[in-house]
Amino acid sequence: MKISTKTINIILLAAIACAVIFRIMNLSSREFWYDEVLSLLLSTGQKLRYQTPQDIPVTLDNYTRLLSLPVENSFSNILVTFESFLKGLMAEPHPFLFFLEQHFWLRLWGNSEVAVRSIIVLFSLGSLGCAYGLGKKLLGFQGGLLFAALLGLNPYYLFHSLNVRMYGSLVFWVLLSSWSLVELISLNTSEINKSNSKLFKIFWIILLIFSAASGFMTFYYFVVFFLVFATLVLYLDRQRWWQYALYLISSIIITIPWLWWGTRQQLRNADLGRFSSKDGFLAAMIKHLQEFLDVLGIHLLLGDWSSILPNFIITILGFLVFIGLLYCSYSLYKNNQIELLNIALLLGLFPLFLMLMIDIITGKFTLAFGFGRSVIFILPGCLLLLVIWIEKAGIKFKNFAILGLLLLYLGINIADFSLRSRQMFHTVADIINQQPNTPTLIIMNSQAWGHVLRLAYYLPTTSPISLLAQKSNNLSPILAENLSENTEQYQRILWLDSQRPVWGKPSTEEQKGEVKTILDNGYNLESSQRLVGTWELDNFDLNVYEKKI
C-alpha cells in the first residue's frame, strides 16, 4: 500500500491541528502543580509577603490573597507592586523575563488556570511556527510540516506547553534564534537575489539579537547556545564570523542591566552546592551516563510518564533512543547528508554533551533534574535529527515511519491525559463545600509553599478555613496544644498527610498514630481516602473528622 505525498501532507496538517486542540482542551484539565503555583506567586509580586506557616493556625484566605494582584488604587501603587515583583525574584535561580511576561498577562486576564496557562500555550504555538519555518528552510515544505507535527505532539513538550514555567517559552526562543541564524547564513552565502536581500537581512538580524537576548533572560543555561551558534557559524560561514559575533554580543549587551542588578543578587542567594555529590569517581561516571540516557528517553519518548516509572526503565528506554539517534546519524552520513546532519547534531546532541561535560567538570548532577527540564533546549535539535533522517536518509518506508511516529506520540498523549488525573485539591474543596459554613481546620505535615499555596488556590474562600502546617515530627504536639486551647473552635478537621512533604520527611507510622490519638479524643473519623496525582508530590492520605456531639 502506497501513501501519496499529498495524503501525508494532509495527515501532517491534521497532526498539527491535533497538537493545537490538545493544548486548548487541557488548559484547565489538571490542577496547578507544585512549581506552577510558585510561578503564580512570583508573578503577582507578592512573594515577599509570603510567610511559612507557624505553630498557630492561620486563616487560609491570607495565602489565597497572595495569588492575585494586590489592590492598586493609583499608579504609584502599581509601581510599588512592580518593585516588589522584581525584589521577589532575587532568591530565584532564573532570570526575570518569563515572570515579567506572566505579570503583565496576569494584569490582562486574571489568575484562572486558563488565563495563566494561555500565554505558555501561545509560546508553544509560536514554537510550532518556528519549527515549520526552520524545517522548511532546511528540508522543504513537507520537512517543515513534519518538524512542526513532531514537536507539537511530542509528549514532553506538550506537558511543558501547559506548564506555568519558563521551559515552554525557552523552546520558542531556541527555535526562533536558530531559525534566524540559519536564514542569515543562507542570505550571506547565497548568490541569488543579493540586491533584494538587505531588508530581509535586517529583519533576521533583529530577530536573532532579540531572540538570543530573550532566551538568555528566560533561562541562564541558554548561554550554551551562544557556543552552539558560534560553532554553527564557523562551520557554515566562517568568513563572516565577526558579523555574527557582533550580533550575539549585541544580544548580551541588551541583558547587562539585569546581569548587573539582578543576576549578581541571585548569585549571592544561590545554593551552588545543591546538585553536588560525594560519590566516588566510578559511581559518579555511571550516574552521569544514566542521567544522559534518562534525558533522551524522557524528552523523545516518555514525557510526563517518567514521573511514575522506575528509574531503570527510563534508563533502558533512553539507551534505546540513543542507539536510534546514532543509527539515524550513521544513515545520514552514509547518504552524504553531512551538512544537514551536522546542523541537527549541533542543535541537539552537541549542547547535551556540553552540559554533560560541565556536570562532570564541576562535579554536579543537573542533566536529569526535574525530569530533564533544565536541558529542554536540546529537544528541537534531537527532533530535527529524526526529521532529517526521515526526509533525507532514503528509507524505504518513509511514509509509514512518519505515521508510526505520529501514532506513537498520539497514543502516549491520549493515555496521559485520559488515564492520569490531577484533581487532588478539587476533592478537598468538594468536601468543604458539602458543609461550606462549618469552621474547618486543615492539618498537614508539609510546610512547603507548593502544598500550602495549592490549598489556598483551590479551596473556597467563602468558607471559614484555617491551616496548621508543620513538619511530620512537630505536627502532633503542636496540634495537641492548639486543640487544648481552642476546643470549640473547629467543628471539622481535615488531616492531609503528604507522602512527600518536600521540606521534611514523610510521617512515620508512629507519628501518624500520635496524630490519630489526639484527633480521636474529640472527633469522629467520617471518611478516609487516598489522593493520587501524576507524581509523588501530589499524593496525600486524606482523613475527615467531625466533632463529637
Maximum Cα interatomic distance, the chain, rounded to a whole number of Å: 90
Q: Is 141 inside a domain boundary?
A: yes
Full DSSP string of 225-255: HHHHHHHHHHHH-GGGHHHHHHHHHHHHHHT
Q: Among the three residues 403, 419, 435, which one is the final residue of a domain in this structure?
A: 419
Residues 338 and 431 in one domain: no
- Say if residue 396's pLDDT is above 90: no
Q: Is 51 inside a domain boundary?
A: no
CB 462 within 8 Å of CB 436: yes
Q: Give residue-wise pLDDT tens across range 21-35.
A: 999 999 999 999 889
Q: Helix, strand, or coil here: 2?
A: coil
- Helices first, then strands: H and E counts in the chain: 24, 6
Of 212, 240, 239, residue with least CA distance to 226: 212
Note the pLDDT of residue 485.
73
Residues 376 and 440 in one domain: no
The edge-to-edge listing of strands for the beta sheet with 465-469 is: 58-59, 465-469, 440-444, 492-498, 540-547, 523-531
- Region 204-212 average pLDDT: 97
Note the pLDDT of residue 198.
82
Note the pLDDT of residue 6.
87
Note the pLDDT of residue 500.
93
- Say if residue 106's pLDDT is above 70: yes
Strands 492-498 and 465-469: unpaired
- Region 419-439 average pLDDT: 92
Note the pLDDT of residue 1.
59
Residues 136 and 222 in one domain: yes
Q: Which residue has the cell 506555568?
A: 164
- Say if residue 193's pLDDT is above 60: no
- Torsion angle of C-alpha atoms 100, 106, 111, 114, degrees rounded to 10: -90
Q: Look up the pTM and report it.
A: 0.95
Q: Is 47 inside a domain boundary?
A: no
- Region 171-182 average pLDDT: 98
Q: Is 455 inside a domain boundary?
A: yes
Q: Is 406 inside a domain boundary?
A: yes
Q: Is 523 inside a domain boundary?
A: yes
What are the backbone dihedrals phi and psi of residue 88, each rounded to the nearest 5 degrees, phi first? -65, -20
Note the pLDDT of residue 351.
97
- Say if residue 520's pLDDT is above 60: yes
- Region 441-464 average pLDDT: 94
Note the pLDDT of residue 421.
81
Note the pLDDT of residue 326.
97
Residues 428 and 415 in one domain: no
- Say if residue 348's pLDDT is above 70: yes
Q: Among the three residues 358, 387, 419, which one is the final residue of a domain in this structure?
A: 419
Note the pLDDT of residue 194.
58
Least confident of 124-138, 372-386, 526-540: 526-540
- Say if residue 100's pLDDT is above 70: yes
pLDDT band at 403 (very low <50, low <70, confident <90, very high): very high
Residues 174 and 259 in one domain: yes
- Say if residue 394's pLDDT is above 90: no
Note the pLDDT of residue 526.
94
Note the pLDDT of residue 264.
83
Note the pLDDT of residue 279.
73
Least confident of 74-88, 151-165, 190-204: 190-204
Residues 221 and 345 in one domain: yes
Note the pLDDT of residue 195.
56
CB 538 within 8 Å of CB 422: yes
**To the nearest whole number, what is the mean pLDDT of the chain?**
93
pLDDT band at 420 (very low <50, low <70, confident <90, very high): confident
- Say if residue 116's pLDDT is above 80: yes
Residues 363 and 309 in one domain: yes
Q: Among the three residues 419, 434, 460, which one is the final residue of a domain in this structure?
A: 419
Distance CA 219, CA 177 (A): 14
Q: Is 400 inside a domain boundary?
A: yes
Residues 378 and 431 in one domain: no
Residues 397 and 428 in one domain: no
Of 192, 248, 211, 234, residue with least CA distance to 130: 211
- Region 347-358 average pLDDT: 96
Residues 511 and 372 in one domain: no
Residues 475 and 513 in one domain: yes
Q: Provide the CATH number for the domain around residue 470.
A: 3.40.190
- Say if residue 56's pLDDT is above 60: yes
The parent domain of residue 313 ranges over 5-28+112-272+281-419
Residues 199 and 231 in one domain: yes
Q: Is 453 inside a domain boundary?
A: yes
Q: Give residue-wise pLDDT tens across range 268-287.
A: 776 666 667 777 888 889 99
- Region 426-435 average pLDDT: 94
- Say if residue 2's pLDDT is above 80: no
Total structural domains in the chain? Answer: 2
